[in-house]
Structure 1
Amino acid sequence: MFINRLIVGLMPLMPRGIVKLFSKRYIAGDRIEDAIATCAHLKNTGFETTLDILGEAISTSTEAAASRDAYINLIQTVSHHPVSKNISLKPTALGLGLDPQLALDNIRAIIQVADEHGFFVRIDMEDSPYTTKTLNIYNTLRQEFPRIGVVIQAYLHRSDADVKAIAATNGNLRICKGIYKEAHDIAFQDKDGVRENYLHLVKTMLKSGAYVGIATHDIYLIDTLEAFIHDQAIPPEKYEFQALLGVPIEARLARLREAGHTVRIYVPFGEQWYAYSSRRLRENPDVAGYVIKNWFKFGQ
């Protein structure tokens, strides 16, 4: 609706407290305790989770070390609770924009602790200047640790070659569409092109027998891939469906879960919520109308 898009367009002019009201469904809260409570609720309703501390590019090695220590503390804290032992991290938050070796060392330190506690670590993918550097980190660390994976973005032209290389070595991928603005020579610009490539990449992984996280909120893609999995008799231990916390496709995710598919929810938390929430609201402006409607209901 126009009014919902108008609200989202005016977000930069709004007080942060108002923006936080609109974005609450997308984030678990500011604290680890908030995130654990959200994960426990999802676990009780049949969903797996992955935790992410909000925060992206940093400007000093000291900030990178603080991000590293925050993830180590997260792992050690979550290990005492009956929730999914699974985290996701962004390499730029750990120094990739400063020095690839710094990021590698920080991510290795996190994965070392994660491995000791039986956690899986997903290395997120960011915009295209970091793609090769991120894959290099993944390919280095997967030689040392068994429970790690990386992300491939379907809108990048290079992703076909990247997926084939990782599938051939039995790697572990999350495949998403991609959200960063990229040039025409780097990424597909049209919805149908991205969809077609997404299906191609996921099917490549499924047919190879390598593990794939099917991370999408596109109902067409979910329906098509669920049918493919059924037709090809893909074993359930070879894939999972994934979605972001708060994206309004709960009924479809529940049907996936009820059909016996693993469904994992990406649960972000932390004090640096503003940039993440702004992106989510731009992608799903109807959430603004949903929040206002329920706000007025509450006040009646």
Structure 2
Amino acid sequence: MNPQTSQRALYDAASQGLRALAADDRCRKAFTAPGSLLQHLLSPSARRYVVAADREEFLACLAALRAKGYRSTVEFVGEENSDRAQIERVVQEYLSLLAYEPAPEQVGFDLSNVGLAVSRDLALRNTARIVEAAADRGCEVILSMERFPTVDEVLGVYRELAAEYDTVGITLQAHLHRTEHDLAAVAQPGRKVRLVKGAFQEPPDVAVGRGPALDERYLRFAGELVERGVRLSLATQDPAVLAAAESSGLLARVTEIEMLHGVQPQLLRRYQDAGHTCRIYATYGENWWLHLLHRLAEHPPMVLTALADLADGTERVVGADY
């Protein structure tokens, strides 16, 4: 095994460990407990990826990113939720966000945060409320994709709403074996599709692991989506994948390059400077445990940066690296 291969294997193993930690119920309970020490200690690290704690601060930061020429997608960060009162608070947060002037150009969320953990019907009703409010403001909605057992339900909600609204889009995960079939089913000309590698740790019979095989599959799916006439958001922070897309000419055919806020900002700025349309997926709120661990899992060496953030007392300026 050569040193480069060895390093990638180490990164892949670290990524799996971070995702396992993110999904650990014991950690989640410790994070959400009143006066959580875990939340207090890790908050400086989270603020690299979570733009702000509250809506007003977030919208001011969003304006700074918009002024630099970036598109944005807005998410009120959260996790799977089965408490009906809390679910309604999440929905109301999106409705309040969409009433703001100027309205966000695109919002995104997990259906598990708006009712899917209770029932598909509740998720559909709440998502329809948000999609309708967004359409009234000229705002698009991109539905996130979640763990493998929920894919059919997420796609079902998407299909019902897409039949009525052309402002709703869907996320597809390249690592799932089933995505080849799902791609053909949802890829309609003019529709918005956000293609990601996949953030969740799934068994081998369900998904391919990180590595060259997934990179190749991601690029192949991206090419197929473009050929089918979708408006493709190429959502990846992987420099090698983006370089391959650029050299093949694929990058010139996608609608936009999207990266998560705080992950590889200099890389996104380089593509924007080169004339590509670039989008930042930006989150706000306090329920960020899963979001933080998944961001670190995208590029495990960032764990060192996260540790350094704990010791850095300076105020973070949103957008400074963009």
Same fold, TM-score > 0.5, yes or no: yes
TM-score range, shorter chain: 0.7 to 0.9
Verify the 8 A CA contact 1:152 1:159 in the aligned structure 2. yes
Aligned-residue RMSD, C-alpha = 2.6
Correspondences of 1:73-152 after superposition (within 5 Å): 73-77=96-100, 80-81=101-102, 84-152=104-172
The whole-number CA distance in structure 2 between the counterparts of 1:180 and 1:103 is 21
After TM superposition, give the deviation of residue 170 of structure 1 in Å.
4.3
Verify the 8 A CA contact 2:98 2:104 in the aligned structure 1. no
Relative to structure 1, is the Cα distance of residues 166 and 297 closer, same or farther in structure 2, using a 3 angstrom cutoff? Answer: closer
Between 13-22 and 63-72, report the one with greater CA deviation. Answer: 13-22
The whole-number CA distance in structure 2 between the counterparts of 1:96 and 1:15 is 27
TM-score (norm 1): 0.87
Q: Does 1:275 align with 2:298?
A: no
Relative to structure 1, is the Cα distance of residues 293 and 123 closer, same or farther in structure 2, using a 3 angstrom cutoff? Answer: closer
After TM superposition, give the deviation of residue 30 of structure 1 in Å.
1.0
After TM superposition, give the deviation of residue 65 of structure 1 in Å.
2.0
The whole-number CA distance in structure 2 between the counterparts of 1:225 and 1:104 is 35
2:53 maps to what in 1?
A: 30
After TM superposition, give the deviation of residue 200 of structure 1 in Å.
0.9
Relative to structure 1, is the Cα distance of residues 145 and 189 closer, same or farther in structure 2, using a 3 angstrom cutoff? Answer: same
Structure 1: 5+ residue stretches without partners: none
Q: Does 1:69 align with 2:128?
A: no
Q: Does 1:175 align with 2:175?
A: no
Relative to structure 1, is the Cα distance of residues 15 and 172 closer, same or farther in structure 2, using a 3 angstrom cutoff? Answer: closer
Question: Counterpart amino acid of 1:123?
Answer: L
Relative to structure 1, is the Cα distance of residues 276 and 230 closer, same or farther in structure 2, using a 3 angstrom cutoff? Answer: closer
Runs of 4+ in 1 over 4 A off after TM superposition: 8-14, 291-299
The whole-number CA distance in structure 1 between the counterparts of 2:294 and 2:210 is 19
| Cα distance per residue 1:226-257 (max 9 Å; x no partner) | 233368x63xxx5110000111x222211211
The whole-number CA distance in structure 2 between the counterparts of 1:54 and 1:290 is 21
After TM superposition, give the deviation of residue 281 of structure 1 in Å.
2.7
Q: Does 1:57 align with 2:80?
A: yes
Equivalent residue of 1:137, what SS? Answer: helix
After TM superposition, give the deviation of residue 108 of structure 1 in Å.
0.3
2:270 maps to what in 1?
A: 255
Between 83-92 and 210-219, report the one with greater CA deviation. Answer: 83-92
The whole-number CA distance in structure 1 between the counterparts of 2:197 and 2:21 is 26
Identify the match of residue 226 of structure 1 among 246, 252, 267. Answer: 246
After TM superposition, give the deviation of residue 185 of structure 1 in Å.
1.1
Equivalent residue of 1:25, what SS? Answer: coil
The whole-number CA distance in structure 1 between the counterparts of 2:310 and 2:156 is 47
Equivalent residue of 2:117, what SS? Answer: coil
After TM superposition, give the deviation of residue 165 of structure 1 in Å.
2.1
Verify the 8 A CA contact 1:35 1:267 in the aligned structure 2. no
Verify the 8 A CA contact 1:23 1:281 in the aligned structure 2. no
Between 147-156 and 220-229, report the one with greater CA deviation. Answer: 220-229
Structure 2: 5+ residue stretches without partners: 1-6, 31-36, 315-322
TM-score (norm 2): 0.81
Relative to structure 1, is the Cα distance of residues 117 and 196 closer, same or farther in structure 2, using a 3 angstrom cutoff? Answer: same
Verify the 8 A CA contact 1:48 1:84 in the aligned structure 2. no
Question: Counterpart amino acid of 2:84?
Answer: S
The whole-number CA distance in structure 2 between the counterparts of 1:110 and 1:10 is 31
After TM superposition, give the deviation of residue 272 of structure 1 in Å.
0.8
Relative to structure 1, is the Cα distance of residues 110 and 296 closer, same or farther in structure 2, using a 3 angstrom cutoff? Answer: closer
2:180 maps to what in 1?
A: 160
Between 51-60 and 115-124, report the one with greater CA deviation. Answer: 51-60
Equivalent residue of 2:292, what SS? Answer: helix
The whole-number CA distance in structure 2 between the counterparts of 1:295 and 1:136 is 42
Verify the 8 A CA contact 1:75 1:113 in the aligned structure 2. yes
Equivalent residue of 2:69, what SS? Answer: coil
Verify the 8 A CA contact 1:22 1:287 in the aligned structure 2. no
Relative to structure 1, is the Cα distance of residues 98 and 297 closer, same or farther in structure 2, using a 3 angstrom cutoff? Answer: closer
Relative to structure 1, is the Cα distance of residues 66 and 10 closer, same or farther in structure 2, using a 3 angstrom cutoff? Answer: closer
Question: Counterpart amino acid of 1:289?
Answer: L
Relative to structure 1, is the Cα distance of residues 297 and 265 closer, same or farther in structure 2, using a 3 angstrom cutoff? Answer: closer
